[in-house]
Amino acid sequence: MSDDTAKVMKLNANVWKSVQVMLMKIATTISNTAKVAAPYLSGTLRRSISIKTNRLAQGTVVVGSPVAYARRREFENNAHPERKYYLRKWYELNRLYIREIVKQTFDTVLNSDSTWFTTSR
The model's pLDDT over 98-121, given as tens digits with 9 standing for 90+, comes to: 899 999 988 887 776 555 444 444
3-state secondary structure of 21: helix
DSSP-derived secondary structure for 78-92: SS-GGGTTHHHHHHH
* Ordered alpha helix ranges (H), 38-119: 44-48, 70-75, 86-112
Give residue 121's pLDDT: 40
In a domain, 117, yes or no: no
In a domain, 88, yes or no: yes
Number of separate domains in the chain: 1
In a domain, 32, yes or no: yes
In a domain, 113, yes or no: no
Q: Once rounded to an integer, what is the mean pLDDT over residues 4-26? A: 80
Confidence class of residue 24 from pLDDT cuts 50, 70 and 90? very high
Q: CA 69 to CA 81: how far, in whole Å?
A: 15
In a domain, 51, yes or no: yes
pLDDT digits (tens, 9 = 90+) for 41-87: 788 888 999 999 888 878 888 888 888 877 777 777 777 677 677 77
3-state secondary structure of 55: coil
Q: CA 89 to CA 83: how far, in whole Å?
A: 9
Question: Which residues constitute the domain of residue 53?
Answer: 3-107
Burial (Cβ within 10 Å: 0-12, 13-18, ≥19) of residue 87: buried
In a domain, 26, yes or no: yes
Confidence class of residue 11 from pLDDT cuts 50, 70 and 90? low
| Residue 24 to residues 59, 68, 96, 108, Cα–Cα distance (Å) | 10, 25, 17, 16
Give residue 113's pLDDT: 58
In a domain, 112, yes or no: no
